[in-house]
Every structure is written in structure tokens, then in C-alpha cells.
Structure 1
Amino acid sequence: MTRVLLALAPAALMLALSLGLTGIESWVASFATSEGARLMLGRAGLALPYAAAGLAGVIFLFAAAA
């Protein structure tokens, strides 16, 4: 039971992060003061869910190796 939970926890967290942060680009873009900055922050906001999910996966990977 514990091994199954440890195997599913990273995938569940990565899925929750990628779905939970979907749509954050408009919130991130609202911090911009110019149109160019708004475009740049909007594009960074599009990548944020996937970067957060990847970072969580790497953290689980290194935690499992220790």
C-alpha cells in the first residue's frame, strides 16, 4: 500500500499543479505596466503550470534518491 502511494503521489501532485495553475497567465500579465511587458509576462504565465509540475517531479526524484 505504501509503495503504491509513493508511486502515485508525484504524478498526482504534478497533475494537480498543472491543472490548478491553468489560467494564471492573465493574473501574471496584470502586473505589467506596458504592452511588451504584458506579452512577456503572459507567455511566462503560460509556461508556469508546466514548470511548477516539472519542479515538483524533480523534487520527488531527488527525494527518492536520498
Structure 2
Amino acid sequence: MKDEERDELMIRMDERIKTVFNKMDKFEDLFTNHLHHHELWETDMKGTMKWWMGMMLMIATTAMGYVRFT
């Protein structure tokens, strides 16, 4: 590797490392937002599952009543 290529490579590596460390300051906010997103998703799933379980219970109860009383 030529000296010029090596120097250019070192400069590019240094810039990438600086970029990574600068973005690490924002990582805490990113992680907090990501956790909040998962909490919202879990809450939505719980609500949806409760609704579907209610529907299945209603269908099962209706079917049992139909079989028993007809």
C-alpha cells in the first residue's frame, strides 16, 4: 500500500470513528424512543387480544346455547 493511500485510509477511518462517537450521544434518546415504541406495541397487542378472546368466547357461548336449547 502506498503512503498516500494509507494516509487517506487513516483519515477516512478517523472520520468514521468520530461519526460513530458523535452518534453515541444520541443513542440514549434513540433507545428510549425504541422502548416506548415497544411499550405502545405491547399495549396495542393486549387490547387486540382481549377483543379477539371476547369474540371467541361469545361465539363459543352462542354455539353451546344453540346446541343445548335446540
Q: Which has the larger radius of gyration?
A: 2
Q: Which has the higher contact order (CA 8 A, sep 6+)?
A: 1
TM-score (norm 2): 0.43
